[in-house]
Each structure stands twice: as C-alpha cells, then as structure tokens.
Amino acid sequence: MAFGSFDNKSSSNAVSEINMVPLIDVMLVLLVIFIITAPLLSHSIKINVPQASSEPVQQDPKVVDFAVDADGQLFWNEQPVSMEQIPALMAAEAALDPQPEIRLRADLDTRYEVLAQVMSMARQSGLKRLGFVTRPGSTPAAAPGPVADTPAAMQAQGAGS
C-alpha cells in the first residue's frame, strides 16, 4: 500500500480515500461486546411468588354541600347553621376516613369575606378537599353603564354635549 514516493519527478497526487479498516475494527469490537452482553441482560432470577386474589375496595367519597346565600345565611347539607357551628361540623368531617369533599356554593352577591372565613375554617379543621360549585356557561356580570371606549358610549357623550 504505497501512498507516495520520495521521487519528486513523478507528478502523482495524494490518495484521498477514506481508510475503512479502523471503522470496520471498531464495528467488529462493538458487535462482539453486544454478543457477549446480550445474554446477560436477559438473565433473570426465577422466584416463586405467592398468588393472592383480592378486589379493590370501592369507597364512594361522601360529599358535603355547603351553601351561602346572598344574605349571608349558611347551609350545611341544606340545613341552616350559624358561623359558630361550622368549625365543629368541619372538624367532625375531617376525622372521617376518607375525608369528604366540601362543595362550596355561593350566591353571586355573597361577600368575599364570608367565603374567606369558611375556607380558613376548613383549613384549620384539617379538611383537604374543598371545591367550588359554579354554573356552567355563565358569564360575569357586565359593569353598569357604558364604557367610555366603546362607540356607543362615545356617541352618547357626543350627543349629550
């Protein structure tokens, strides 16, 4: 395998072919490694595992309906309650296993302060599941009166002046 000669008189160009021998050597070494390690990877220890048949326990979680109307009246499962009774009721429900889900329904005009107090009492009593019930597809109430940037509001302002 001659790449060139020391004779400067010949005008032969350098050979620009890729030497494939080192690439083939690396490929053959990897092939041998995979042939040796493949049986080791599929080797497993056979263990006689005991068989048991059981059915999962179906527990229907209890749901507590907690409602607040527009006047601030509180209802625990459709029964009227006072704000002082709520911590005891929530503590009793928090002790159950599994804990029930408290579904909080509030009127649109309910003060946020009442809802914040109820959520705080639920957290202090140890309840983990608190959900809000909403009406699907409802849109928030629009602000009363026209907004100044709408064309109808601009026309109304222009007509009044």
Residue 86 lies inside a defined structural domain of this protein: yes
The boundaries of the domain holding residue 95 are 63-132
Residue 38 lies inside a defined structural domain of this protein: no
DSSP result, 47-80: --PPP-----------EEEEEE-TT--EEETTEE
Residue 88 lies inside a defined structural domain of this protein: yes
Residue 156 lies inside a defined structural domain of this protein: no
Provide the pLDDT for residue 93. Answer: 87
Residue 73 lies inside a defined structural domain of this protein: yes
Query: What's 118's domain CATH number?
Result: 3.30.420.270
pTM: 0.48
Query: What are 66-123's pLDDT values in tens digits?
Result: 898 888 889 998 899 998 998 999 898 888 878 888 888 888 888 888 888 888 988 8
Provide the pLDDT for residue 32. Answer: 94
CB 101 within 8 A of CB 129: yes
Query: What are 5-57's pLDDT values in tens digits?
Result: 565 555 567 777 888 899 999 999 999 999 988 877 776 777 777 777 777 76
Provide the pLDDT for residue 11. Answer: 58
Residue 40 lies inside a defined structural domain of this protein: no
Residue 32 lies inside a defined structural domain of this protein: no
Query: What are 56-82's pLDDT values in tens digits?
Result: 767 777 888 889 888 888 999 889 999
CB 102 within 8 A of CB 131: yes
Residue 68 lies inside a defined structural domain of this protein: yes
Number of domains the chain contains? 1
